[in-house]
Amino acid sequence: MKAFRVERYGSKEGLRLGEMPDPRVGADDVLVQVHAASVNPLDHKIRDGEFRTILPYKVPFVLGNDLAGVVTRVGEAVTRFAVGDKVYARPDKDRIGTFAELIAVHQDDVALKPATLTMEEAASLPLVALTAWQALVERAHVRPGQKVLVHAGSGGVGTVAIQLAKHLGASVATTTSTANTDLVRSLGADVVVDYRKEAFETVLRDYDVVLDPLGGENLEKSLRVLKPGGTAISIAGPPDAAFARELGANPVVRLVMSALSFRIRRRARRRRVTYSFLFMRAGGDQLREIAALVDAGRIRPVVDRVFGFESTPEALDYAEEGRAKAGKVVVTMT
């Protein structure tokens, strides 16, 4: 099969189109012919070797973390899917590789794609939708009447998180640029802070939950808008010991991760709030619930631009350089 594989870490030139053996299909796997895949910041970080400590992929390996496609073969123990099913998925972190013609995915990590979406639209959702779900539903337990701040509301995670928070009954604030204020309002944002004109930490207060995909100074400022007992969940901030335990990391790595997040956790404690780092995980059951919300009109994907498969490196560059106006960048095989 053809696939874009990382042949060496640390440079754009390390990603090349080449031939790879067709995936081995285990007893619990479905083999999917990929119709579309989407680009995520995680792809850039993996390619550049930023996550080698926790995700030590051995080169060469196929890049890509989202897909939509058609099942072409099922393992002997598969009970949930049949050949011809249209599916979408975020493969497990140990089995990535969606920038390829084929991929084998464990049946537990796959769901039937939303019937109302094209393959390109469906491919834009798994990673960001699972991130929003695990942050707001699973970890923050957002309830009706609560106040949720979603940073970068026009981004991949933000566009889904705004809609999910509104579905859960929350009042939603978001930060975005002037050009995207109408978009985020159309997604359901009640309060929109144009970061080019206002500092969010001076106009927002008493929030229950902050979802932060930016990290750094933005995360530290976010602690100021939380009320006592509130939670800041970051997908870009420093990892913590809880994340290290989830990974099954050794004691040294756990200690390092705890040290990396010490300052932000201390600042959170002083404000009587909590800090939590989230690295989303694959989950077919959650994707099924998300698909139901999509088909019910509760969540809609936002796709910025679609590239052909041969232009996958250009798609990564386009996203990494911040040229996308809103939503996700998608690669299509057709």
Q: What is the pLDDT of residues 237-268, one digit of tens each?
A: 898 877 877 777 777 777 878 888 889 999 99
Same domain, 145 and 247: yes
Q: What is the pLDDT of residues 65-107, one digit of tens each?
A: 999 999 999 999 999 999 999 999 999 999 999 999 999 999 9
The answer on pLDDT for 149 being more than 90 is yes
Q: In which domain, by residue range, is 137 found?
A: 127-277
Same domain, 153 and 259: yes
Same domain, 48 and 95: yes
Q: What is the pLDDT of residues 50-63, one digit of tens each?
A: 888 778 899 999 99
Distance in angstroms (rounded) separating the CA atoms of residues 5 and 3: 6
The answer on pLDDT for 179 being more than 90 is yes
The pTM for the full model equals 0.96
- DSSP assignment of 190-216: SEEEETTT--HHHH---EEEEEESS-H
Name the pLDDT band for 321 (thresholds 50, 70, 90): very high
Same domain, 91 and 170: no
Residue (of 19, 6, 17) closest to 45 by Cα position: 6
In a 10 Å sphere around its CB, with 0-12 CB exposed, 13-18 middle and 19+ buried, how is residue 182 labelled?
exposed
- When pLDDT is averaged across residues 118-136 and rounded to a whole number, the result is 98
Same domain, 99 and 133: no
Q: What is the CATH number of the domain that holds 132?
A: 3.40.50.720
Q: What is the CATH number of the domain that holds 306?
A: 3.90.180.10
Same domain, 150 and 213: yes
Same domain, 242 and 324: no
Q: Does residue 106 sit within a domain?
A: yes
Q: Does residue 156 sit within a domain?
A: yes
Residue (of 324, 311, 328, 313) closest to 117 by Cα position: 328
Residue 70's beta-bridge partner residues? 33, 86
Q: Does residue 287 sit within a domain?
A: no
Q: What is the pLDDT of residues 204-227, one digit of tens each?
A: 999 999 999 999 999 999 999 999
Same domain, 251 and 267: yes
The answer on pLDDT for 40 being more than 80 is yes
The answer on pLDDT for 322 being more than 80 is yes
SS (H, E, C) 56-77: CCCCCEECCCCEEEEEEEECCC
How crowded is residue 196: how many other Cβ atoms within 10 Å of its Cβ?
A: 10
Q: Does residue 40 sit within a domain?
A: yes
Distance in angstroms (rounded) separating the CA atoms of residues 252 and 258: 10
How crowded is residue 143: how many other Cβ atoms within 10 Å of its Cβ?
A: 10
Q: Does residue 296 sit within a domain?
A: no
Instruction: Supply the pLDDT for residue 261.
Output: 87
Distance in angstroms (rounded) separating the CA atoms of residues 46 and 271: 34
Same domain, 132 and 204: yes
Residue (of 69, 44, 39) closest to 327 by Cα position: 39
Same domain, 268 and 131: yes
Same domain, 43 and 104: yes
What average pLDDT does the chain have? 95
